[in-house]
Amino acid sequence: MITFNRPHLHNAVSLSMWRSVPKLIEELIGDGARVIVFSGQGDSFASGADLEELRKIDNADSARELWHAILECLEHVWSCAVPTIAMVHGSCIGGGCLLATSCDFRLASIASSFAIPVARLGLMLDDRTIGRLVAAGGIAFAKEVLLAGATVSATQAVSWGYLHRRVELNKLRFEVMELADQIANNVGSSVAACKRSINACAALPAVGATISDDAVVASYLTDDFRKRVRPQD
């Protein structure tokens, strides 16, 4: 299990955390893990990028450094050899929601909520990241959270198909572990092959097909973004 452990910041994901996830995944697989579960300590799953780090971005190099760390983490979760499960409780916001979207399964407590407020901040996402969101919850769900900037309840997320299950908080861990055991008891090579095939069927666009990497990086340097992350007087 990989647990985000910054409960005092609602598990905001720092640059070092984004970078560490792929390494942790490979270590777990090397130790024989057949399934990897993501969870959050405290009352949130993950609340997205670290706001203090966002405020310090002042040039293309620092913006690219953060964006590439996020992008590489999401791609690694999506394509890693073993199935992944997001065990969501509380807030699942921004980058945290994007990471959950990269997982193969999403199970959440009834009180959980989901949001990706990039439009509120003036940021962009690449086509593959948005493609995973569409594949997971459909076009209507993607437009609701991206264009409208809506916060979606677990009940709504289930109705759109984004969530696999919505359960009582006191049953969440049991449900996740039961699913993990069910997967782990199957033949690993077959599970891995099926995962690759299913992901291929998502038909994600090539990197930069519509929104270039430079365009995403540039969005971190706009006046609109700086105003939105600046502390209010």
Sheet holding 44-46, edge to edge: 44-46, 91-93, 113-115, 152-153
The three-class DSSP label of residue 14 is coil
Reported as a single tens digit per residue, the pLDDT across 127-136 is 889 999 999 9
Domains of the chain: 2-169+188-229 (3.90.226.10)
Q: In this model, does residue 219 exceed pLDDT 90? A: no
Bridge partners of 166? 108
Residues 100 and 4: their CA atoms lie apart, in Å, by 12
Q: What is the mean pLDDT of residues 194-214?
A: 79
* pLDDT value at residue 232: 56
Q: Please, which residues have CB within 8 angstroms of residue 53's CB and are 6 or more apart in sequence?
A: 14, 15, 66
Reported as a single tens digit per residue, the pLDDT across 120-154 is 888 889 988 999 999 999 999 999 999 999 999 99
The answer to whether 213 touches 207, Cβ cutoff 8 Å, is yes
Bridge partners of 92? 46, 114
* pLDDT value at residue 57: 85
The three-class DSSP label of residue 93 is strand
The three-class DSSP label of residue 84 is strand
Helix/strand/coil (H/E/C) assignment for every residue in 24-59:
HHHHHHHCCCCCEEEEECCCEEECCECHHHHHHCCC
Reported as a single tens digit per residue, the pLDDT across 54-106 is 888 888 988 899 899 999 999 999 999 999 999 999 999 999 999 999 999 99
| This prediction's pTM | 0.90
Task: Give the CA distances from residue 214 to residues 17, 57, 61, 65, 76, in Å, rounded to whole numbers and listed in that order.
Answer: 23, 15, 11, 12, 21
* Residue among 108, 109, 105 nearest 84 (CA): 105
Q: What is the mean pLDDT of residues 15-38?
A: 94
